[in-house]
Structure 1
């Protein structure tokens, strides 16, 4: 397992340091200014890194293509379904989905929060991004996606456990969940192809994509791959973040009180801002994302000999950086391990460095960021309206840095408000 405290110690007083990471030689970058150069101003000099490539096995086309032109093209195809005005339209559907799922909880019965957050986020992704399916198909697809997301979240990303999981047949549950989801998704795509008059939703946009001669660009299999990637990415990260949000809320009564008050004001349209700053709800979520960024580590590879600041990197160098460590840099965030939403009253996410990158930055930043912010607030609002969640007071929840940064095991007991 990746040891954050050990890595912090190794990198202390180092902007860059050559280390062996997951068995490969790499340069680990701790300087947020240099990380921004890698991701933004000098991004053309860096491609996908060799480390952790095993986590990106859902699609090799579209947005995960090595081809920068293709990547931008498929971002543009997804954008109409993720822009702010469209996301606003999704809110009633999001609320209905969350209410329906949490209404099945029973007061006093322990709930596996991460599994439930997978159910919620997957139902939201399918219910909003894929239109025109029969209700029973929508339900079945979201259930299969939830199984896949749950297995993906826990997929080892680093070290010996990742090597064991990569052996043939080792990840049977993940392979089976992927197979079952893709089979049903492929059926939905086939139905859409047989009904060319259907032009609504993300799947239809992928199927309608054509070249200047009117020929379809993606095969049905490639559409399936791209949609599977998009839907999985839209769920595993949000489910992990929401799990942390509900856990932290259960351990901070004063934060819970302030959050409930702010959410009530936002529902009534009477929300006030503290000295012109963001709402407490937004500050709360920003702090959760600072402490527990779901995409906790990233890798790029120098495509040619490059200078990164004052450092010369030969072509092929693996360059690694961790948003978890960047977000806990004491030079940027005093008392960095403390949960303090009000730090965002005086701090703003920097536009000149990468000290706060929960969604990434630059041309490869998360295309669904606006969707995620809205979804997080809706889930938080509906769950806390309905339930008060608690954990055992002496139970320590461990951090699991796997495909996402998630709680190792999180059982919570709901009580009606």
Structure 2
């Protein structure tokens, strides 16, 4: 990504620190992504206009999509009416009441994940979180599959999730990945997952959950129902989206606790309190501030939003701030930058869960967007909060995790913002 004009040495290599220096102080600035011109927005008020106030005048942008192998027929459809149709189809399986029903399954998977680790044996945390999130997604959203079928799908979904997490989005790295064997490996991993799902379409086991809803959906006037191939694509999209984001956030959460023992102690105390009281904490609900564990997760998502960059495209001529944009213009913003705005978050790079004692996420404030906002915001937000809470609790109650001697963690801004590699040593509490 580079500002216009390009530097004398060619396109500027992506770095978060450089991104902050180049774009800070500019509400809207023209940039270039893989040779495509785009307008980069850093003003939360203007991002709110793009996503919510004038949301109908912006469609889904194509930048950063070329590296993804996901469905475009259902929830990711360009057409807003079609998107809303499939959003309503998914909602019964992701709303608050359904999440409560999913809690026992989430807890079982979380306990099994923690129980599989051994004292002093290195754990690839991201791989473990991919497997856990894959199991939760399949056993809750695709209820009704046999245990054997579910196990096969879980293993393949975990493989696909890691391929997607670590895939570069743009620039030279993405071009190299498309030319190299990694692209063929990713395509094969997705094809294998689709084949496993396709094998379930005619099975009597596929009579419950989201897969059954896709299969029985008659479509809407003027739009035919999804074909069998499109059902498979939509299922892959939902499952991978549910897996990759959770795996990335949980990896950052466990790493962060290892770096902040005092915060870890507070999380443990809060988990013990909520378990004894049977409490359930949710963002934006209740009259008091969120509990410490939820504040901790909110701060993890502030500093490490999995969907770190987003693109929209103008559907008509619009005015954004002092810019007149023609129809078809790419408009970008970064949750990473919005979440580190010093005007909203004093000392923005410091990890401080207690900043959420006074700050409150709001639908009218686009400075905190871990799940997006507006008509295309994440349909599974309630599901994700509960899943993160349960996974975190199961792991940290059993294990204290540390980096191996000499271990160092770096952020990788790929399809999600994730640790480049995260090997950790578990020690029992």
Superposition TM-score, scaled by structure 2 size:
0.92
Q: What's the offset of the Cα at 1:272?
A: 11
Which residue does the alignment assign to 2:10?
none
Matches within 5 A, 1:18-37: 18-37=30-49
Q: What SS does the corresponding residue of 2:26 show, helix, strand or coil? A: coil
- From 365, 369, 385, give the equivalent of 1:373: 385
- The one of 139, 150, 153 equivalent to 1:138 is 150
Q: Say whether the 8 Å CA contact 1:106–1:414 is kept in structure 2.
A: yes
| Counterpart for residue 147 of structure 1 | 159
Q: 2:333 aligns with which of 316, 321, 330?
A: 321
Question: Residues 3 and 367 of structure 1: is their aligned pair in 2 closer, same or farther, counting only changes over 3 Å?
Answer: same
What is the match of residue 404 of structure 1?
416
Aligned twin of 2:240: 232
Distance 1:370 1:15 in 2: 31
Task: Choose 287-296 or 55-64, whichever is displaced more.
Answer: 55-64
What residue number does 1:43 align with?
Answer: 55
1:53 is paired with a residue of what secondary structure? coil
Q: Is the 8 A contact 1:209 1:216 kept in 2?
A: no
> How much does 1:165 deviate?
1.6
Correspondence for 1:209 among 190, 196, 217 = 217
Q: Which residue of 2 aligns with 1:181?
A: 193
Query: What's the CA shift for 1:212?
Result: 7.2
**Match of residue 263, structure 2, among 211, 234, 255:** 255
Q: CA RMSD in A?
A: 2.0
Moved more, 129-138 or 349-358: 349-358
Q: Distance in 2 between matches of 1:400 and 1:21?
A: 18
Looking at structure 1, the residues matched to 220 and 192 of structure 2 have their Cα atoms a distance apart, in angstroms, of: 35
- Name the counterpart of 2:321: 309
The alignment partner of 2:31 has SS state of strand
CA–CA distance in structure 2, aligned partners of residues 156 and 202 of structure 1: 30
Runs of 4+ in 1 over 4 A off after TM superposition: 270-275
Partner residue in 1 for 2:229 = 221
How far, CA to CA, are the matches of 1:131 and 1:51 in structure 2?
34
Task: Write the distance in 2 (CA, Å) between the matches of 1:45 and 1:57.
Answer: 26
Shift of 1:409: 0.5
Farther off after superposition, 332-341 or 51-60 = 51-60
Alignment partner, residue 6 of structure 2: none
Deviations 1:3-25 (A, max 9, x none): 11111111122111112233321
Count of residues paired in the alignment: 412
Q: Render the CA deviation track for 1:28-58: whole Å, top value 9, x for unaligned.
A: 1000000011011111111222311214431
Gapped runs of 5+ residues in structure 2? 1-12
TM-score of the superposition, structure 1-length normalised?
0.95
Structure 2 match to 1:15 = 27
Unaligned ranges ≥5, structure 1: none
Task: Write out per-residue CA displacement over residues 202-251 of structure 1, whole angstroms, 9 at most, x where no aligned residue.
Answer: 110011101579x9711111110101000000000110000000000011
Q: Which moved more, 1:283-292 or 1:199-208?
A: 199-208
